[in-house]
Structure 1
Amino acid sequence: MFLMWPFPGNFAVNYDVCLMTRIQKMSLDYHFKVEQESGSSMHAFFGFNGTAGVWRVSAISEAGGWKDRTTVEDMDLAVRASLKGWQFLYVGDIRVKSELPSTLKAYRHQQHRWTCGATNLFRKMAPDIVRSKGVSVWMKFHLLYSFFFVRRVIAPILTFLFYCIVIPLSVMVPEVSIPVWGMFYIPTAITIMNAIRNPWSIHMVPIWILFENVMSMHRMRAALTGLLETMYVDEWVVTQKLGDHVREKLEVPLLTPVKPTECVERIYVPEVLVAFYLLVCASYDFVLGAGRYYLYIFLQAFAFLLLGFGFVGTAGPCSCP
């Protein structure tokens, strides 16, 4: 049996509006073209997400229906359906119109919801996956280790701790020596996979990696929140859209733009604090250290500063008293 849905090959309609939107499109292209397309071609599991998806009603019923126990109800249903023997098909030649968050604040909320929900689903579903009798041992291993543990738990935590904390701190400890391959093999592998499917975006890959390293700070917090089930595990903030999409001449618009207010959040303190830490480490390496990593750390600090002072994304409304 096959559970079929088409996915968008081009997620952002007007992705030249700002740098953040183009970077988001690169992340989604990697998600659709690498993860989902490869999973479909190998008849392996890949997560369902709610944009332009088509479900069989019998699959939803057999899996137990939609549940609101996590903030990733689409992924939850997909995992339960896969344990019932349903398979998934990616259709990449269908195009739909959608809209990405235009403000950094909205994007942070979206990434928190996705990451926190995925790790919390891992906590809730791990026993069911182990006990499931309808799938192979290989399928269980793929779900538990590759899909959940590596991609949803280890990846966000390791990215921030290693590239934004350990490497900068190591320049102040001469006894610590990080091999060059340890710094470059993961970014290089990601670059190659993006370049294969997105050769027209190869010039954006370094910027994309720096942006993703900044976002890993929020994803790490979200991953730990979902894994430990802290008080913010069920926090649901609807992603605000500013109406930056191309509208058709409809009587009722599909997406209504948010009316801007005079109160605009443009400074994000966590990013600024990390940028200050990185600048200290880079300056020390340049002046007193071995001079091995200062160029990378300066670039990373610059990325944190850009996002910390709101130079990425459009200006949007904030919650005013």
Structure 2
Amino acid sequence: MLPHQTCPSSGSRRWGISNLIACAYLIFLIFLTLYTTHAYIMIFLNVRRKRRTPPKSGFDLPSVTVQLPIYNERYVVQRLIRRVCQLNYPRDLLEIQILDDSTDETGSIVDQLVAEYRKRGYDIKVIRRTTRHGFKAGALQNGLRRARGEFLAIFDADFLPPRDFLIRLIGEFQNPKVGAVQARWGHINDRVSWFTLAQAIALDGHFILEQRTRAENDLFITFNGTGGIWRKEAIEDSGGWHTDTLTEDLDLSMRAQLRGWKIVYRDDVVVPGEIPFTVESFRTQQSRWARGTIQTGIKLLPKILRSHLSLFKKFEAFIQLSAHFVYPALLGIAVFSFPIIYFKINNILPRSYFLILSLLSIGAFAYPLYYAISQREIYPDWRRRIRFIPHIIANCMGMSLNITVSVIEGLLRKGGEFHRTPKFGDARPKINSIPSKFNPLPFLELLFGVYLLYSGMFALVKLQLFILPFLFTYSFGFFYFGLQSLRVKS
């Protein structure tokens, strides 16, 4: 005779599932709080900052090579070359390298401009390769071997350096320990739409609250890939440009600082660049940054954590190299928001649990404050601009699924294809309503949009008002990215 067997009741199963969901939600929120706490730290350090005085001029100017890595940039390459040739710097000390990997008509545009400026006495040359091995990093390394300048200024195709860029920044290298100088990015097209303005505000926050604060507190700082100058010796001493990550700029920055080189940040020198004005361009850029940052973290964080650097400097480097894990955390919070609301309404979880959630939710105000501070410092019309801060949150949420995929790819694979961010200058290609190929991601984003909209309506009916702004903002982000991605550039 078989012994009496008991089966777990449906109530106990529900209790087990609710505990699992509650634990998962809490873990995601705690993880997110780690990064919002870091934002508060950056705000605090910014408040107590001591303003730095740029070095005085009056020294002998060194030779400089300007490197322009380009790939199929027919819309902006002419504007770029003409602007660089206007730089106020002794012509006998200035070399211009156009690192052209293009496969379209960009090459013929470049050749015409190079011929024109060579006739006018400029030391300007085109360097081409038979393959795109290493993509941008490979092109920069190839140019490095041929550069005659002691210092290398680098500009992406969509950036427009001010005429006095070199004169104002080269003095920083009077300090022999300075390996690179990074200027602040400005924005050519931030007023095109709320979408570009939201991106601009996010970038301003990065430069004003992160780059400057890190530089002034002797923390790891990033050369942002464009709008800066490198000491050639520092690049060579650090091993040159590597091709095993998609963020060659971040990789070299970290390796150089581990070798003892300093990177200086100057927010008084602004180099305007183009912001992606379509969802697909933004996806391309952000996905590459996410994947490359994770790859760089895997590559260099063990060495950083084993070093003799201070604990806070290690913590800051960890935050910087793992920041894109915020997106999986946001996605997890979005997924579990509805059941958490349901559990609260039906008293399935203890009150102490929701008290903990309330305390952790203080972090929700970190980034809005963070961005508001940067806008107030830079723009006279900052009060108008900060109204678009919720759109940054919508952008982050709308990209969370896409970035989560990129984070996983970064964890699993080194390198990868460098997909350039399309730049259009004054051109604005038309949008076709028929997608060129099937991509399931926009449909998943639309499903998330519907789910979060329903969650928001449920919370509204049940008077759970605190979470409403987040749910509706998240829903808007998913809807916007999903719908825009179903339309492609013709």
**Could you state the TM-score of these two structures normalised by the residue count of structure 2?**
0.55
| Pair 35,283 (structure 1): closer, same or farther in 2 beyond 3 Å | same
Q: Is 1:50 aligned with 2:225?
A: yes
Would the alpha carbon gap of residues 265 and 92 (structure 1) be closer, same or farther in structure 2, given more than 3 Å must change? farther
Q: CA deviation at 1:136?
A: 2.1
What CA distance in whole angstroms lies between the structure 2 residues aligned with 1:182 and 1:234?
Answer: 41
> Structure 2 matches for 1:21-60, cutoff 5 A?
21-60=196-235
1:269 maps onto 2:443 in alignment: yes
Query: 2:331 maps to which residue?
Result: 160
Aligned residue pairs, count = 295
Kept after mapping to 1: 8 A contact 2:185/2:272? no
Which residue type is aligned with residue 7 of structure 1?
A
CA distance in 2, matches of 1:36, 1:295: 30
Shift of 1:114: 0.3
Q: Distance in 2 between matches of 1:69 and 1:278?
A: 38
Deviation string for 1:61-84 (max 9, x for gaps)?
110000110100000000100110
**Match runs of 1:229-308 below 5 Å:** 229=413, 234-244=416-426, 257=427, 260=430, 262=432, 265=435, 268-287=442-461, 289=462, 291-292=464-465, 293-294=467-468, 296-308=470-482
Amino acid at match of 2:464: G
Relative to its length, the structure with more strand (as a share) is 2
Once the two structures are TM-superposed, the CA of residue 311 in structure 1 deviates from its matched residue by 9.4
Q: Unmatched 5+ residue regions in structure 2?
A: 1-176, 377-381
Q: How far does residue 207 in structure 1 lie from its aligned partner after superposition?
A: 2.4
Of 400, 410, 420, the residue aligned with 1:216 is 400
- Larger relative contact order (Cα-Cα within 8 Å, sequence gap ≥ 6): 1
- The Cα offsets for residues 24-60 of structure 1, whole Å up to 9 and x where unpaired, read as 1011101111100101111211122112010001110
SS of match in other structure, 2:179: strand
The answer for the alignment partner of 2:71 in structure 1 is none
The one of 116, 124, 141 equivalent to 2:314 is 141
Secondary structure (helix, strand or coil) at the match of 1:50 reads coil
Distance 1:227 1:65 in 2: 23
Q: Could you tell me which amino acid in structure 1 is paired with residue 450 of structure 2?
A: F
The secondary structure found in structure 2 opposite 1:51 is coil
SS at match of 1:49: coil
Q: CA deviation at 1:126?
A: 2.7
CA contact (8 A) 1:72 1:118 kept: yes
Tell me the secondary structure at the aligned position of residue 171 of structure 1: helix
Structure 1 residues 235 and 143 mapped into 2: Cα distance closer, same or farther (>3 Å)? farther
Amino acid at match of 1:32: F
Work out the CA distance in 1 between the residues paired with 2:256 and 2:447. 43
Q: CA deviation at 1:296?
A: 3.6
Pairing of 1:21-170 with structure 2 (within 5 A): 21-132=196-307, 136-138=309-311, 141-142=314-315, 144-149=317-322, 151-153=323-325, 155-162=326-333, 164-170=334-340
Q: Is 2:358 the counterpart of 1:181?
A: yes
Match for 1:285: what amino acid?
A
1:138 Cα deviation after fit: 3.2
Structure 1 regions of 5+ residues with no counterpart?
A: 245-256
Matched to 2:479, the amino acid is: L
How far the C-alpha of 1:130 sits from its partner, in A, is 4.0
C-alpha distance in structure 1 between counterparts of 2:424 and 2:358, whole Å: 42
Residue 184 of structure 2 is matched in structure 1 by 8
Matched-pair contact (CA < 8 Å) for 1:5–1:54: yes
Name the structure 2 match of 1:191: 368
Which has the higher Rg, Structure 1 or Structure 2? 2
CA displacement at 1:128 relative to structure 2: 2.9
Identity among equivalent positions (%) equals 26
